[in-house]
Structure 1
């Protein structure tokens, strides 16, 4: 990571690892959701995540690199917190509200990473990479908004 391009490549590997870990976690979150709407949101996001991984693989190709992640302790910690919520929170609305919070923590982490990588890709003249990353970021914002609406719409009140 001697220059901006080195940082960019590292962050692409970081978010690739993160997306792969999230992909493994989403089916368990869907199974643990009590709310049908929340379950559907997790299932839909799993499909989106598969597409986001494909976009990242295209970025790797543009960089002349093989798709490979580097361990991201931040996402591992966030996902571990989500696992604790699924195991320790009472079933039903309380667990659903906790899983929304955990899922939003993941989205917020990813939003910061994608935003940074898009800025760096543009600075480096990598417009095609920036476009692919922007597609992923747009989906992250939409997922976060959907989770907020689910929580604020009914789940948080029922959990109270």
Structure 2
């Protein structure tokens, strides 16, 4: 009797031959989430780390931006991000937990990419456009995360957390829209 679940997918190689690839079921790590509450708390730790990391990255983005509208948007979002950290701390408190950060690999990758974009572009409109692109990737990650966390909070009947998460979600969406507006009205025409 086989103990691991497997899936077979037929693929065609560059030589035209069909081959089968086998995927195995991934075993859970020690201490893995056992229920939705555990998953919710783990995800809160991830986004808490992400928001704290973002408070360190945003000033670097602002310093490297040249467009005044973009600089002001980044500065404004830094203030909001500090509020997001405080809201997450409130959420942990509502759960009767101490706020704890767990490294978020996704955010680390996005921040690393943003740094690379700044290193690979000359200061000016092109770098500003790259900063906006990097910032919007971060916003989209945060929008997805806060939307998911709010849904988890609703199912878990964690109403205070849900309210806090939805408030942050709305601010993340507004920031994304502002970045789009700055790119559409100012930067993309200058960076050609």
Q: Aligning the two structures, in what range does the TM-score lie when normalised by the shorter sequence? A: over 0.9
Q: CA deviation at 1:74?
A: 0.6
Aligned to 1:28: 60
Higher gyration radius (CA): 2
Structure richer in strand, relative to its length: 2
In the aligned structure 2, how far is the partner of 1:74 from the partner of 1:126? 25
Q: CA deviation at 1:90?
A: 1.4
Aligned positions of 1:100-119 closer than 5 A: 100-119=132-151
Aligned to 1:59: 91
Aligned positions of 1:128-143 closer than 5 A: 128-143=160-175
In structure 1, list runs of 5 or more residues that go unmatched. none
Q: How many residues align?
A: 160
RMSD after superposition: 0.6
TM-score between both structures, scaled by the size of structure 2? 0.82
Bigger relative contact order (CA 8 A; separation at least 6): 1
Q: Deviations over 1:88-129 (max 9, x none)?
A: 111100000000000000000010000000001000111110
Aligned positions of 1:1-160 closer than 5 A: 1-160=33-192
TM-score between both structures, scaled by the size of structure 1? 0.99
Q: Deviations over 1:25-62 (max 9, x none)?
A: 00111111100000000000000001111100000001
List structure 1 runs of 4+ shifted beyond 3 angstroms: none
Structure richer in helix, relative to its length: 1
In the aligned structure 1, how far is the partner of 2:52 from the partner of 2:45? 11
